[in-house]
Amino acid sequence: METKARISAPWIKALSKNEIFVFGSNLAGHHGGGAARLAMNWGTIWGQGVGLQGQTYAIPTMFGSVDEIKPYVDEFLNFAKEHSELKFLVTEIGCGIAGWTVEEIAPLFSRAISENIENVYLPESFWR
């Protein structure tokens, strides 16, 4: 699949039936701001900070180090590979309220490219 076809929109306002909004969360699942708050529109569960919830998928980014975030990203990528019927629209997770930079977070998603996980759509900034 061509790279340009796998870029998630910078502002996701609506989801189709098979689309999943992937956002950065905190482990406590307090989805009070940023993309996490927006995710509440699509079935995110207050108090659940990880995984599939309605039409959303939470990846915790509000703690520790990038190395501690990586296992959650790997878990997400494995989940996406197992659910090829779904289209995962990844936001710039961790690059807002959590305070990480694109340069710190984007490499965590390199498997989506190297393994050609075709149903994972990344922000344009992550491709660069």
pLDDT digits (tens, 9 = 90+) for 87-115: 999 999 999 999 999 999 999 999 999 99
Tokens of 126: 């992550």
Q: Is residue 5 part of a domain?
A: no
Q: Is residue 85 part of a domain?
A: yes
Q: Is residue 45 part of a domain?
A: yes
Domains in the chain: how many in total? 1
Question: In 3D, which of 13, 18, 23, 98 has the Cα closest to residue 57?
Answer: 23
Instruction: Tell me the Cα Rg of the chain.
Output: 13
Q: How confident is the model at residue 1 (pLDDT cuts 50, 70, 90)?
A: very low
Domain membership of residue 117 as a residue range: 17-127
CATH code, 38 = 3.40.220.10
Q: pTM for the full model?
A: 0.93
Question: In 3D, which of 100, 91, 96 has the Cα closest to residue 69?
Answer: 100
Q: How many residues does the chain have?
A: 128
- Which strands, in side-by-side order, build the sheet including 7-8? 7-8, 120-123, 87-90, 19-25, 56-60, 51-53
Q: Is residue 6 part of a domain?
A: no
Q: Is residue 7 part of a domain?
A: no
pLDDT digits (tens, 9 = 90+) for 6-38: 999 888 999 999 999 999 999 999 998 889 999
